[in-house]
Every structure is written in C-alpha cells, then in structure tokens.
Structure 1
Amino acid sequence: EDINNTSHALQLRAGRDQVVLPSLDRIVLKLREMAHLYADVPMLSRTHGQTASPTTVGKEMANVVMRLQAAVERIAAVKIMGKMNGAVGNYNAHLAAWPDFDWEAFSRKVVETHEPEGLGLTFQPYSIQIEPHDYMAELFDAVARANTILIDLARDIWGYVSLGYFKQKLKAGEIGSSTMPHKVNPIDFENAEGNLGLANALLRHLSEKLPVSRWQRDLTDSTVLRNIGVALGYSVLAYTSLQAGLGKLELNEQALAEDLDAAWEVLAEPIQTVMRRYGVQGAYEKLKEVTRGQRVTPEALHGLIRSLDIPQGEKDRLLAMTPANYIGKAAELARRA
C-alpha cells in the first residue's frame, strides 16, 4: 500500500495539474472575454421564468467567471497526500528490520522532497493500512462543485439559445439537426450537461466511499479507485464540449433589444422605489393597477409618473428610464470580473 497510495497520489496530481485545471482555466478565460465584450449589452432577466429587472449579457457571464474561479482555486488548493508507514501505519516491519533508524523522518523526506529526489507530496503521518483518502474526497468534491457550476452554465446558455439571444456558428458540412434543416441544436451544451452529470455521480460516490474502510483495511476502496480516471475523464470531455460550444456562439442583439422593449413592466420596480422614498401613499397598489394582468406600455407608465407628487427632477429621471438602460451596476461589475 505504500506504493499504491503514492502512485494514486502522483496520478491525481498530474491529472489535476496537467489536464483538469488547464481545461477549467480555458473556460474561465473564454467566459471572462465574453463578460468584458458584452458588458454593456442589456438583457432581460428572468426570475421564476418571468420578466425581471434587466442585467447585461456580460454581467451574467461574469457571475459564472467569479463562481468558477473560486471553484478552480479550491481544486488547486487540495493537498495531495502520501504515506509510507507500513501495513497498519505504525512502522512495525520497518523497526523490526532496523530498530535504531528514524523511519518516520525518512518516510517524510521521501514523500515531501520535490522530484526527482522525492515524490513532492504532502506527508500523511497517521493512517491505517491505507492512506485515509480524505484528500481525495476533498478533491473530488471540489471538482464536482466546479462541474455543478458548469451544469448551471450549460442549461442557461441552452435557454438563451432557445430564446434567440445567441445564434450558433456552423462549421462547413456540419449538420444542425438530423431531420429539420432549419435548426442548429445546442448539442455541445447538451453533451456537456450529460457528461458533467455522469462525472458528478462518480465523483460523489468516490468522495463518500473512499474515506470509509472497515477497521485497519478492507478492499472496497480498491475496486472504487479504478474509476478515478473515468470520473475525471467524463469531466474533461464535458469541458471540451463546453469550450467548443462557447466558441460557436454569436450574440443576437436584435432579439435581446426586442425582448427588452416588450417588457416595460420591469420599470415598476424603480418607480415604486422612488414613490416609497418620497412617501407616496399606496405606491404598490397604484403600480398594480397599471401593470398586473395587462400589457404595460411606456405611455401608461409615463402617465403615472407625471401624476406623482414627487420632485420634478425625479420625474424626469424616471421618464428617461427604459428597460434597456435600467441595468444598475451590471456593466461595471462585468468589466471588473
């Protein structure tokens, strides 16, 4: 086991540092590029599937950048551990062979010294026959959290494609739909979502199972460990699909603008807020009469604004608002990501 646990650790370190993290870094880089490029492009938000206060396309990409960057840092921060302390973690055979030698110090040196003289891992001083696998659970949970963020992204982009906010570039000879020539299916995001789900199912089982071993050892971890590459492989396959899908997206600013122009009801929020600021009685009820259960027009909102007993400067500010410019600090936040 002193060989097995260190070999698994070296494989995991290489897989994380050379494959998983670079793949995630490329996605973060692409999303950050989109956040900055589309920082000023207004977009209608939807909460509970209904129209809500506008945002910008860039700000929505920035949200994912910040979440994913934090998840990547957690993956990178996991200490990859190794042990070299014998059959039950007490150096029994080591001391039987040479009782006067400091085996613990020697083992620590072999495990922690950087390659090529040593393994360059973090030394695990306390274990049973097997390394406890707590670091593996931490690593797999961290990867699963990143994957969950990317599932969220894949579903959101899928929805934006459905709404027409994004178009997808086709490569020459590529088929958009097997039966309907007019369609370009968002297959990269669907493939990513499916593979991320498979990856997380395995990663979560690995993180729950591996730290559990009966007494000083059983073999249940041995068969499970053989699937580490499968779990990470599904993850990397999904990252590749996402990267490809993001590279095919083209923003449809006309569709975004049309959606915003058909949603003047979202300005009920700032109007109500200003009314409450100046103590206008029945602010909520007045706006409900104008907005609920009917198509809200700019004319109806402007008529209400002009009738309000608030300073003229505030009226002018509200009259200048449109769904497209009511975006708060969205553009600034997008550029900051």
Structure 2
Amino acid sequence: TSVPLSIKECQEEVYLPLMNDIVELLEEKAKTWEGIPMLAHTHGQPASPTMLSKEIRVFTYRLQQQLAYFAFIPFGAKFGGATGNFNAHKVTFPEHNWVLFANNFCSSLGLERQSYTTQIENYDNMSAYFDSIKRINVILMDFCKDMWAYISMEYFKQKIKEGEVGSSAMPHKVNPIDFENAEGNLGLANAIFDHLSMKLPISRLQRDLTDSTVTRNIGVPIAHTIIALNSIIKGVNKLIINTKAIERDLNNNWAVVAEALQSILRSIGYPNPYETLKDLTRTNTEVNAETIAKFVNGLDVSDEIKKRMKEITPMNYVGVYE
C-alpha cells in the first residue's frame, strides 16, 4: 500500500496543483490574446487563418478532457495474504470476516482493494494511471513544440532575464530553453512510464520479483514530469506577443482566402470554382490584395457576390469556434 499511497499524495499535493496552474495560465493567456487573428500552418505551409486564443484553447480543452479521465482512475491495493487467499489469516482467526475487514481497511486509506490477486497487486489501475499521465505529457510535448515554432516564426518574443545567457557563442540569441527543457523531460518521463505500464501488470504465476526493482523507479518519471511542468509555466510566463510579425505573415499570404472565394462560388453554382482559384493561387507570382480584387472583378457574378468576396481578408477570414 505504500506505493499507491505515495503516488496518491504526490498527485494531490504536487501534480494536480501544477497541472491546474498550467490550465489556468493558458486560459488566462487565451483571454489576453483574444481577438488576434493568426495565419495557420498545415504541413508547414500557410493555411486558412485562425485565432491565437483558439489555438491556445485547443490545449486547455485537451488537457481538461484528459485530466477528467485521469480523475476516475482508482488507486488499487492488495490485501490477501501470501497468494491472495487469506490462508494464514483464516486458519489463525477462522471466525473473522477477512474479506470485509480488508475491504474496509483499504477503503479507510483511500484505496480500492483488488478482490482477486496473486501475491502482489495486479497493477492494472497503476498501469492505466501511468498511461494517463503519458497522454497528458504527449499533449504538453505538442504544446512545447508549437510554442517553439511560434517563437521561431517571431509570433512571440521572450522576456529577457538579466544575467541569463542565450547562447555560448551568439550573444544576440534568446533561446526557447524552457520549452526545450520541458519537451526533453516529458519524453524521458514517457519512455519510463511506457515501460512501467507495460511491465508491472505481468508477473509469472503467483509472483516473481521483477516488479520490485521496477517500482523503485516510479518516482523517476514523475520527477521528470514535475520538472517539465515547472519549465512550461516558466516558459509561458516569458512570452510576449509580437502582433507585427503575426500581421506581417497574414498580409504576405492573401492566397489563403482562396478557400473562402471558392466556397462562395461553389454555393452559387459557379462552374469549376476549385480549378479557377487554383489557376490564380498555385503559381510563382505573388498573390496580394490587388490580385485578389482584380480576380474578383473579372468573375461573371453579381455585384452583391463581388462585394462579399472583396470584404474577405486574411485578417477577418477566421471562422468561428467552440
């Protein structure tokens, strides 16, 4: 019972408070950055614009979902004697209801007794627990990679800490070290969690000793995860929005409104709208506000439709979400 109890204590006093801090911090940032349109990128290429706040909420939404699943995983306990049958207990005090006593005792500790076991706990719940943290870590790794990319694209600048060295050779650099640190620690944690969740439920016949040496390392991936969570909080708090760079990319990518124009043309039955827009946008010549306006003026559609199409820009073609 000491292992699940220590994990339970860590979850309640350290892990969940940190995770809640991250979700709240990201939601706070999403509110701060509300109303900022941003060029999306799929396959590394410019795509239909999005909202910065929405992209942050993708992660808060995913984390909240997984944390909700995580909360339902019980902490298991084994109480049943040398091979799970209360042999010595029964022969010593035969009149005692050992099953009821064991259930009540484990419940009093906040643990769920495993009714059928060998000499050791089945570890199925613990395996699910590690898999759940691993999924949460994967979401956080995805977040770190995205923040790294946005910093690389200059969508974010970072607060400069006096005395902090960005690069040993290039003094101008402010590297995204907190997100890189977090990504590395999350990856290492998940490699160990993967082994724990795969190994612990397996024990030869009624017991072998392989779980003993493995359980001594449960704290290692949890510690790497805690380090990563603190690094993420530190990294997010350093972010400074750079709206000039975001607006620059939107203004340089008018081709992304082609989807909108094509959809409008399709809705009125215009012939071959996809091919028409492809001829305009999939060339090596620049597509800007002027070329789009010229294209719209040349269409055989009503003035009302032309007006609607001319009102669309990379800055306002952001759709809706929620």
TM-score of the two chains, using structure 2 as the length reference: 0.97
Q: Is the 8 A contact 1:264 1:297 kept in 2?
A: yes
Residue-by-residue CA offset, 1:128-161 (whole Å, 9 max, x unaligned): 1001000110000000000000000000100000
Structure 2 residue 263 is the aligned partner of structure 1 residue 273: yes
Deviation at 1:186, TM superposition (A): 0.3
Q: Contact 1:44–1:54 (CA<8 Å) still a contact in 2?
A: yes
Which one is further off, 292-301 or 319-328?
292-301
Checking the alignment, whether the CA contact within 8 Å between 1:170 and 1:176 is kept in structure 2 is no
Look up the SS of the partner of 1:16 in the other structure.
Answer: helix
Q: Deviations over 1:180-205 (max 9, x none)?
A: 11110000000000000000000010
Q: Does 1:303 align with 2:294?
A: yes
Q: Deviations over 1:1-30 (max 9, x none)?
A: xxxxx1111011111111111111111111
Instruction: Select which of 36, 43, 47 maps to 1:48.
Output: 43
**What is the 5 A alignment of 1:16-165?**
16-113=11-108, 119-165=109-155
What are structure 2's unaligned runs of at least 5 residues?
none
Match of 2:303 among 300, 312, 318: 312
Mean Cα deviation higher: 306-315 or 216-225: 306-315
Q: Distance in 2 between matches of 1:94 and 1:313?
A: 87
User: CA offsets per residue over residues 109-136 of structure 1, 9 Å max, x none?
Assistant: 11112xxxxx121121111100100011
Give the AA of the match of 1:257.
E
Amino acid corresponding to residue 63 of structure 2 in structure 1: L
Q: CA deviation at 1:307?
A: 2.5
Q: Which amino acid aligns with 1:96?
A: V
The reply on whether 1:289 has 2:284 as its aligned counterpart is no
- Post-superposition CA distance 1:51-90 (Å, at most 9, x none): 0000011111000000011112222221001121111111
SS at match of 2:26: helix
RMSD of Structure 2 on Structure 1 (CA): 1.0
On the 8 A contact 1:21/1:76 being kept in 2, the answer is no
**Which residue of structure 2 lines up, in the alignment, with residue 3 of structure 1?**
none
SS at match of 2:160: coil
- 1:45 is paired with a residue of what secondary structure? strand
What is the identity, as a one-letter code, of the residue corresponding to 2:317?
A: Y
Residue 179 (structure 2) pairs with residue 184 (structure 1): no
Offset of residue 173 of structure 1: 1.5
Quick one: which amino acid aligns to residue 153 of structure 1? F
Deviation at 1:174, TM superposition (A): 1.5
User: 1 CA distance for matches of 2:302 and 2:9?
Assistant: 65
Q: Secondary structure at the match of 2:29?
A: helix
* Structure 1 alignment gaps of length 5 or more: 1-5, 114-118
Q: AA paired with 2:235?
A: G
Residues 238-257 of structure 1 aligned to structure 2 (within 5 Å): 238-257=228-247
For residues 227 and 18 of structure 2, the distance between their equivalents in structure 1, rounded to whole angstroms, comes to 10
* Counterpart-to-counterpart distance in 2, 1:120 and 1:271: 59
- Partner in structure 2 of residue 116 of structure 1: none
* Alpha-carbon distance between aligned partners in 2 of 1:314 and 1:203, rounded to the nearest angstrom: 57
Which of the residues 310, 313, 319 maps onto 1:322? Answer: 313
1:217 counterpart = 2:207: yes
Q: SS state of the match for residue 46, structure 1?
A: strand
Give the distance between the partners of 1:18 and 1:280, measured in 2 at CA.
Answer: 62
2: CA distance, partners of 1:233 / 1:122: 25
Deviation larger for 32-41 or 152-161? 32-41
> Contact 1:133/1:210 (CA < 8 Å) preserved in 2?
yes
Give the SS at the match of 1:9.
helix
Residue-by-residue CA offset, 1:221-280 (whole Å, 9 max, x unaligned)? 010001110010000000010110000000000000000000000000000011111111
Shift of 1:306: 2.1
Higher relative contact order (CA 8 A, sep 6+): 1
Shift of residue 289, structure 1, vs aligned partner: 1.6
How far apart, in 1, do the equivalents of 2:91 and 2:304 lie? 89
8 Å CA contact 1:32–1:62 kept in 2: the answer is yes
Q: CA deviation at 1:314?
A: 2.5
Question: d(CA) in 1 for partners of 2:232 and 2:301?
Answer: 50
Distance in 2 separating the partners of 1:306 and 1:139? 60
